[in-house]
Structures are given as C-alpha cells and as structure tokens.
A = this chain, B = another copy of it.
Amino acid sequence: MNEGTFVSALRALADDPAARGLDDDAAVLEFGGESLVVTHDTLVQGVHVREDEDPADIAWKLVAVNLSDLAAKGAEPLGVLVSHMLGEGDERFVRGLGEILAAHDVPLLGGDTVRAEGRRSWGCTAIGRATHTPVPDRRGAQVGDAVYVTGVLGRAMLGLEDRGSGSANDFAYRRPQPLLAEGRMLAPVVTAMMDVSDGLLLDCWRLARASRCTIQLERDSIPVADPGRADDCMRWGDDYQLLFTAPADAALPVAAACIGRVENEGGDVLRLDDEIVSPEDGLGYQH
C-alpha cells in the first residue's frame, strides 16, 4: 500500500470525507462555542532531521512546524504535547524545547517519553484557538484572486549548506519561526491559506488542487534567497512562510509578495510562466 492509498484509506475512515487533518491542514473542531485547531507532526531522524542535528534544534523545529500549522489557520496556541524518544543529548532537547515555548509563550501541556533502540522519532501535537471564522484552509481560493507568499524562499536551503556558521541563513534553517502573528492578521483577509513546508511549487500545486482551480505563477515575482538558484529555492521546504490567496484588491495587513493569479482554465493545476508543472516534475519535498 503506497502512501497515497494509505491516506485515502484513512480518509475513508474519517467523518469528514475531506479529512483536512490528514497530512494536510490542521483539523478544526467546534467546541464550547469556539473553533479548536489541532495538528500533529512527527519528525524522524535521518528523514526530517539530520542524523547529526543538535537536539536543541530538533526540539525547536518539532514545535515550530506544528505552530506553523496553527499560524496557517490564524490560530493562537493553547499548548503542545511532545512525544520524545529518550537518547543522547536530552539536555539539549530540553533546552531547545524551553526556548521555543518561551519564544511563543506556549504552555507544555504534556506528552510521553519512550525508550527504544535505533532510529529516533519525535511527535508534537499543537492545540490552538481559531481567532477568525471561517477558519482558513487550502480549499477556498477563488478565480480572480491574487496568490501571495510572505518572506523569502530558500533561506533554509542556504542555511543547511551553511550549517553551524551562525549566519542568518543558518538560523533560518535551525530555528524556523512560526508566523503566528502574521497568520492571525491574515485570517480575516485570505480566501485560502497554508504554510510552505515542502517547497513553494509543491504547496502551490496542493492549494490549487484542493481549491479545484488553476494557479498561474510568475517566476520573476517569486522572492528567492539566491536568484542564481531560483529553481532550487522554489522547491526547497523548511521555510515555513505563509502561502495564501486573497481578492486582488484586498489591503494586506502584512507584507507579502504577489506571485501569481488564480485562474480556472481546463484541468491544469499549476503553471509557472505558462508552463504546466506537476509533482512528477519534482516540485518539492514529498514524504
């Protein structure tokens, strides 16, 4: 059973046939008159983090990627649960965990520690409160909308190559910043939103597919950290910027680059300067 089939089988089990929370957006749950946002991500040594990664950076990234999922929902964090496989560098793990929790004022609610030999993995569940309803997801892009992305893409990629240098790119790779404040400000304005975790092109393709529309991107308008390696920057993940669509005349509360348009022509999903691109072309990090 390949991953797509497995996820489809899981979706068939889920109450909501779209089962947004499965490898997609965070799940939204109505509770006590509010909208609760819940997300879970697992990091595996040698897959999502390097074998020799500083455990402090692993802890930071573990929580950051989950908070980034809340950011894309315009949610404010209520707390996290962390599942930790005990091993080398646990002091460093605790330190990194403390740093990200303090940086975003997020309570550690609980979790689980397990002891096992072999490859380590870490899980985090983040719980948040939606600050705006309807809660944004990746399904709402409308024909005529503009497509935007915050920040600059490819900094984490450059940081990985520059690892340990203490440079700004190194920091971008090791300590990704979940854009919680930006997500909350954008939530009332956007028609669709998600974070860029697996590469801009792949995540644009996913947004377009979920919204059943065509996204037309303009290569020259995409902000990249190294123009000489624009193709790589657009395909590399780990930047955790926010990708969103909004009416073309909307006043945006945060700085973002307009990188394209939502169109609806035939069955194309994503076009880059009029060239049709798809995941088979290697648009980003598929896991």
Contact = CB atoms under 8 A, between A and B. Distances in A.
Interface of A: 1, 3, 6-7, 9-10, 13-16, 19-24, 26-27, 29, 31-34, 36, 38-42, 44, 46-48, 78-79, 81-86, 90-91, 94, 97-98, 101, 107-119, 121, 123, 125, 127, 129, 287
6 contacts: A1-B91, A6-B86, A31-B36, A41-B112, A46-B116, A123-B123
A213 to B, nearest CB: 24
A84 to B, nearest CB: 7
Contact of A119 (B9, B23, B36, B116): B116
The number of times this chain is found in the oligomer is 2
Given A20-B110, A107-B14, A129-B31, A44 B6 contact: no
A9 B90 CA distance: 10
A184 B29 CA distance: 22
Given A41-B83, A42-B112, 4 more contacts: A1-B86, A3-B113, A14-B109, A21-B81
A36 B16 CA distance: 21
A10 B116 contact: no
A159 to B, nearest CB: 23
Given A81-B40, A91-B1, A48 B110 contact: no
Contacts of A29: 78-79, 109, 127
Q: Nearest 7 CB-CB pairs, A to B?
A: A21-B110, A32-B32, A27-B109, A27-B110, A32-B34, A1-B90, A15-B107
A39 B40 CA distance: 12
B108 A14 contact: yes
B21 A111 contact: yes
